[in-house]
Structure 1
Amino acid sequence: MKNNIAETDKTVWFLKTKGPQPLALIAEALKITTEGARFQLLKLSNEGLVNAITESKGRGRPQQIWSLTSAGHARFSDKHADLTLKIIEKIRETLGEQALDAVIEANTKEGIEKYSKEMEGATDLESKVACLARIRDNEGYMAEYEKEGDGFLLIENHCPICAAATACQNFCRSELLTFQTVLGQGVYIQRLDHIVYGARRCAYRISEKPF
Structure 2
Amino acid sequence: MKSRKDKILQTLLRKPKITINELAEAVDINPISVRHHLTNLQMEGLIEAEEVRHGVGRPRLVYSLTEEGMERFPTKYLRLTTRLLAQMKESMPGPLVTKLFNQVAEDLASEYTSQIQGLSMEERLEFVKELLAQEGFTVEWEKKGSEYQIHEISCPYYQIGIAHPEVCTVDQTLISKMLALPANKVRCILDGGTHCTYVVQPVAVKI
Match of 1:86 in 2: 87
What is the CA–CA distance in structure 1 between the aligned matches of 2:118 and 2:6, rounded to whole Å? 34
TM-score, length-scaled by structure 1: 0.65
After TM superposition, the runs of 4+ consecutive aligned structure 1 residues lying more than 6 A away are 54-59, 96-99
- AA aligned to 1:83 is L
What is the CA–CA distance in structure 1 between the aligned matches of 2:189 and 2:100, rounded to whole Å? 23
The answer to whether structure 1 residue 10 and structure 2 residue 7 are counterparts is: yes
- AA aligned to 2:199 is R
Match of 1:45 in 2: 42
The answer to whether structure 1 residue 202 and structure 2 residue 196 are counterparts is: yes
Call closer, same or farther: CA 1:41–1:114 in 2, change over 3 Å: same
The sequence identity of aligned pairs, in percent, is 13
Call closer, same or farther: CA 1:63–1:189 in 2, change over 3 Å: closer
The answer to whether structure 1 residue 144 and structure 2 residue 139 are counterparts is: yes
Which residue of the other structure, out of 120, 125, 142, is the alignment partner of 1:124? 120
What is the CA–CA distance in structure 1 between the aligned matches of 2:82 and 2:27, rounded to whole Å? 31
- AA aligned to 1:66 is V
- AA aligned to 1:153 is I
Say if 2:17 and 2:194, in contact at 8 Å, map to a contact too. no
- CA offsets per residue over residues 166-203 of structure 1, 9 Å max, x none? 6584x54454333222112xx45220223555655432
Alignment of 1:1-211 (within 5 A): 7-48=4-45, 49-51=47-49, 53=51, 65-68=61-64, 70-71=66-67, 74-75=70-71, 77=75, 78=78, 80-90=81-91, 92=92, 103-104=100-101, 106-117=103-114, 119-120=115-116, 123-140=119-136, 142-150=137-145, 151-155=148-152, 157-160=154-157, 163=160, 169=166, 172-173=168-169, 175-184=171-180, 187-195=181-189, 199=193, 201-208=195-202
Q: CA deviation at 1:155?
A: 1.0
Q: CA deviation at 1:55?
A: 8.1
TM-score, length-scaled by structure 2: 0.66
- CA offsets per residue over residues 55-95 of structure 1, 9 Å max, x none? 89999xx89633126447754744722234334544x2xxx
CA RMSD of aligned residues (A): 4.3
Structure 1: gaps spanning 5 or more residues: none
How many residue pairs align between the two structures?
196
Q: CA deviation at 1:147?
A: 1.7
Say if 1:84 and 1:164, in contact at 8 Å, map to a contact too. no
- CA offsets per residue over residues 79-119 of structure 1, 9 Å max, x none? 722234334544x2xxx6786576556434412212435x5
What is the CA–CA distance in structure 2 between the aligned matches of 1:102 and 1:6, rounded to whole Å? 43
What is the CA–CA distance in structure 1 between the aligned matches of 2:15 and 2:56, rounded to whole Å? 23
Call closer, same or farther: CA 1:129–1:154 in 2, change over 3 Å: farther
